[in-house]
A and B are shown apart, each in its own frame.
Chain A
Amino acid sequence: MAELLIAIIAFIISFAGLIVLLLSWQNKSDQAKQTMIAFAWFVIGISIYLWTLASGPEFGLCYGFISVAFQAWVLVLYQQKTNSKPLKLRAAKVLVKSQINWAAGLKSLPRVGLILVAIIPLAGFASMQVLAGVTALLPGEKVNRMALGVYLLPILWGLFVYWVCGAQKLARPVISLAIISVISYSVNYLL
């Protein structure tokens, strides 16, 4: 019963925090805005803490984040219905009909191929080797270090992908990733 009560309070508090965030978003004064934003996030943080009290740390964090997402979407819809000026309905812009430029597509294939090689096998290999090497140096139980590496893998790999795909000169991230792979592989397997 007490848990249910805490959960309800957590739900209300996070909604209140989001409302403050919405009000700060509507507020034009810069000084008040900063204070309100800070306060709102503090309140949302408190609500997540309350969720963990009500449902334990594991479920509490899940419920906290999920409820914030839904409450925010409700406020976004409310804001749209009440405050925003709907754009005038216009006939959709008539788009120019054209043919796919297959020649240009074929011409870009080598670059696309290189990007694919860089973001999948190369970035994957580099991130796995780096994470295994770095987490192996950390203190603590082996299984904890392994789990840390497993959970961080998509983040580091994702960062490498972001780097490759955003680069103006593709050679720079590709060469860097190759060097990172060679060094970390050598450290992990050869030293």
Chain B
Amino acid sequence: MIKRFIPSSALTKQSLNSHAWIGICVSALMYLVCISGTLAVFYQEFERWEQPQIGESLVYQPEQIEQAYQHFLTKHPEINDDHILIRLPTEDLPRASISADKHKWFIESDGSLTQQGVSPITKMITGLHVSLHLPENIGMVIVSILGVLLTSLIISGMMAHRRIFKDAFNLRGGFASLLQQTDLHNRLSVWGLPFHLMIAITGAFFGLAIYIAGIYNQVLYENDFKALMADAYGAVPQIENAAPQVKISQALNKLSQIAPDTVPVFITVEEAKTDKQFILIGAQHTDKLIYSEQYRFTASGDYIDAAGFTSGPAGQQAIFSVYRLHFGHFGSEFVKVLYGILGFALTVICVSGINIWLTKRNKQDLLNPVWTAIVWGTPLSFAISAVFQLVAGLPAIYCFWIMLCGYILVACFQNRQKCFELWSVRLTAASVFILVFTHMMLNAQASWQNISLVVNMGLLFIAVLIWLYSQKLNRQI
């Protein structure tokens, strides 16, 4: 019966050809997106690690949030954003903050704003994942197209894999052999297939949905884009003559009566400082994958309605589930760890795929050290640019690209591939150690408390693993 599902050898050859073509074309960018995505799963933890001195608490008073909003308006009278965002403390980010127009402040327990929110290292990681550090309108589209190409790689990989059932549990030994690389590539990809497909599809959504929505606007909505947006994201309430004073506390108190089982995660003041302003509270329903239900209130805190995502059509819920599904921000922190491991598996699949192709060529040229430089230079550049940022406040994104390009340039002049790989691995391990050490030196006790302790221990663990891998490489040379 199984034989019926095995593709013919001609189709397998064609699929392998397709798989190799796509893989080679996108390998470097795909690797950057995969490795940064693996780290981006923990972006909230990294944000907390970057500013360990900020007080954390899950408890807040509605009045404190309202005061913070007033303070924010006083501090930044120039703000002209159409919405001001207040993030409420949650389990994974137990810090209340308020932000608009690139200004972000943490909210103290008395509602005052004393510490600015700055997380350049986290932004370097998330920015690479979301838009490859390009302007968002271009970068997000490119990353989403990578999602499409990942889908294509999954399809062609499946079609190329004639022994998918025969090899289901095969992981042959040997070290760095072609067989082991192939087995590793195939076992990780076959068993992780549902996850990888989900990541590819949801990843493609972020930058491409708007383009297909443009076609639906013509085909289904007769060029009424407002109606399309209302169907997808809920109609915007029409407010006239809104009260000038925004009563956030009243809205929050009302929400606890309207939806007592929900967890409010953010508040936005829409059309802020205009006579159309209103309050929107995003509250998570613990039994739903959608990011949040949106409860809308007038500026004076009277309940208007809910956008209706929780009870809305399946399509609307599917659209709103994309974010949490892609980043694994649901369930407990344990889910994030699992997502991190699955994301790392995808990164390994990407690297081993190109390693297989390089080995099969039976020759060694410039591409070998350049690929090594990309693979090991990326985490190395992450760590070193983070150190430069922490120590000297240098812009992490620029440091990252200068480091990575410099490392690739160095690779071009390497004659001894194995030695270069070994030293790249050692340097990467050392750079992660240095990063943890720097964080400890700069933040003293705060470095070993709460989430900073977990992140630092995690980084040390990764550094040790990389070091052990370098020892293994060393034995092979």
- The reply to whether the CB of B29 lies closer than 8 angstroms to some CB of chain A is no
The answer to whether B168 touches A21, judged by C-beta atoms less than 8 angstroms apart, is yes
Question: In the complex, what's the smallest C-beta–C-beta distance from A151 to chain B, in angstroms?
Answer: 6
> What 1/0 flags go to A132-146 for Cβ under 8 Å of B?
110010000111111
- The reply to whether the CB of B171 lies closer than 8 angstroms to some CB of chain A is yes
The answer to whether B363 touches A96, judged by C-beta atoms less than 8 angstroms apart, is yes
Interface residues of B in 155-185 (CB under 8 A from A): 155-156, 159, 165-166, 168-177, 179-180
The answer to whether B220 touches A154, judged by C-beta atoms less than 8 angstroms apart, is no
- The reply to whether the CB of A182 lies closer than 8 angstroms to some CB of chain B is no
- Whether A86 contacts B288 in the complex (CB less than 8 A), given A97-B364, A143-B231, A159-B152, comes out as no
Question: In the complex, what's the smallest C-beta–C-beta distance from A2 to chain B, in angstroms?
Answer: 15
Interface residues of A in 103-146 (CB under 8 A from B): 115-116, 119-120, 124, 128-129, 131-133, 136, 141-146
Choice from A22, A37, A66 contacting B169 with Cβ under 8 Å: A22
The answer to whether B145 touches A120, judged by C-beta atoms less than 8 angstroms apart, is yes
Nearest chain A residue, comparing its CB with the CB of B194 = A65
The answer to whether A86 touches B366, judged by C-beta atoms less than 8 angstroms apart, is no
- The reply to whether the CB of B243 lies closer than 8 angstroms to some CB of chain A is no
Interface residues of B in 1-42 (CB under 8 A from A): 1-2, 14-15, 17-18, 21-22, 25
The answer to whether A92 touches B213, judged by C-beta atoms less than 8 angstroms apart, is no
- The reply to whether the CB of B397 lies closer than 8 angstroms to some CB of chain A is no
- The reply to whether the CB of A17 lies closer than 8 angstroms to some CB of chain B is no
Question: Complex Cα distance A86/B183, Å?
Answer: 13
> What 1/0 flags go to B455-474 for Cβ under 8 Å of A?
00000000000000000000
Residues of B within 8 A of A159 (CB): 152, 155
Question: In the complex, what's the smallest C-beta–C-beta distance from A145 to chain B, in angstroms?
Answer: 7
Nearest chain A residue, comparing its CB with the CB of B142 = A120
Interface residues of B in 195-217 (CB under 8 A from A): 195, 198, 200-201, 204-205, 208-209, 211-213, 215-216
Question: Complex Cα distance A98/B368, Å?
Answer: 11
Residues of B within 8 A of A163 (CB): 18
Residues of A within 8 A of B176 (CB): 92
Residues of A within 8 A of B156 (CB): 162, 165-166
- The reply to whether the CB of A29 lies closer than 8 angstroms to some CB of chain B is no
- The reply to whether the CB of B120 lies closer than 8 angstroms to some CB of chain A is no
- Whether A100 contacts B366 in the complex (CB less than 8 A), given A56-B287, A79-B171, A188-B219, comes out as yes
The answer to whether B191 touches A68, judged by C-beta atoms less than 8 angstroms apart, is yes
The answer to whether A79 touches B363, judged by C-beta atoms less than 8 angstroms apart, is no
Question: Complex Cα distance A72/B195, Å?
Answer: 13
- The reply to whether the CB of B313 lies closer than 8 angstroms to some CB of chain A is yes
> What 1/0 flags go to B132-160 for Cβ under 8 Å of A?
00000000000001011111101110010
Residues of A within 8 A of B154 (CB): 158
The answer to whether A86 touches B220, judged by C-beta atoms less than 8 angstroms apart, is no
Range class of the A interface residue count: 35 or more
Question: Complex Cα distance A144/B331, Å?
Answer: 26
Residues of B within 8 A of A150 (CB): 205, 209, 212-213, 319
The answer to whether A145 touches B22, judged by C-beta atoms less than 8 angstroms apart, is no
- The reply to whether the CB of B71 lies closer than 8 angstroms to some CB of chain A is no
Question: Complex Cα distance A133/B175, Å?
Answer: 51
Question: Complex Cα distance A26/B315, Å?
Answer: 43
The answer to whether B215 touches A188, judged by C-beta atoms less than 8 angstroms apart, is yes
Choice from A68, A97, A128, A165 contacting B18 with Cβ under 8 Å: A165
Residues of A within 8 A of B314 (CB): 144, 147
Question: Complex Cα distance A115/B335, Å?
Answer: 39
Nearest chain B residue, comparing its CB with the CB of A26 = B169
The answer to whether B201 touches A155, judged by C-beta atoms less than 8 angstroms apart, is yes
The answer to whether A154 touches B21, judged by C-beta atoms less than 8 angstroms apart, is no
The answer to whether B155 touches A158, judged by C-beta atoms less than 8 angstroms apart, is yes
> What 1/0 flags go to B225-237 for Cβ under 8 Å of A?
0001001100000
The answer to whether A161 touches B148, judged by C-beta atoms less than 8 angstroms apart, is yes
The answer to whether B174 touches A87, judged by C-beta atoms less than 8 angstroms apart, is yes
The answer to whether B173 touches A84, judged by C-beta atoms less than 8 angstroms apart, is yes
> What 1/0 flags go to B283-311 for Cβ under 8 Å of A?
00001110000000000000000000000
The answer to whether A165 touches B148, judged by C-beta atoms less than 8 angstroms apart, is no
- The reply to whether the CB of A85 lies closer than 8 angstroms to some CB of chain B is yes
The answer to whether B21 touches A115, judged by C-beta atoms less than 8 angstroms apart, is yes
The answer to whether B365 touches A97, judged by C-beta atoms less than 8 angstroms apart, is yes
Interface residues of B in 310-331 (CB under 8 A from A): 312-316, 318-319, 321, 325, 330-331
Nearest chain B residue, comparing its CB with the CB of A95 = B364
- The reply to whether the CB of A89 lies closer than 8 angstroms to some CB of chain B is yes
**Between-chain CB contacts (< 8 Å), 19 pairs:** A21-B168, A58-B289, A69-B194, A76-B169, A76-B187, A80-B172, A84-B171, A92-B418, A143-B232, A143-B315, A145-B220, A146-B231, A150-B209, A155-B155, A158-B200, A161-B18, A161-B148, A166-B156, A167-B14
Known: A158-B152, A161-B148. 9 other contacts (CB 8 A): A69-B194, A69-B195, A76-B171, A79-B169, A80-B172, A87-B173, A132-B219, A146-B232, A148-B315
Chain A interfacial positions (CB closer than 8 Å to B): 21-22, 25, 34, 37, 55-56, 58-59, 62-63, 65-66, 68-70, 72-73, 75-77, 79-80, 84-92, 95-100, 115-116, 119-120, 124, 128-129, 131-133, 136, 141-151, 153-155, 157-159, 161-168, 188-189
Among all A-B residue pairs, the 8 with the closest Cβ atoms = A86-B173, A147-B315, A166-B18, A87-B174, A158-B151, A144-B315, A158-B152, A154-B204
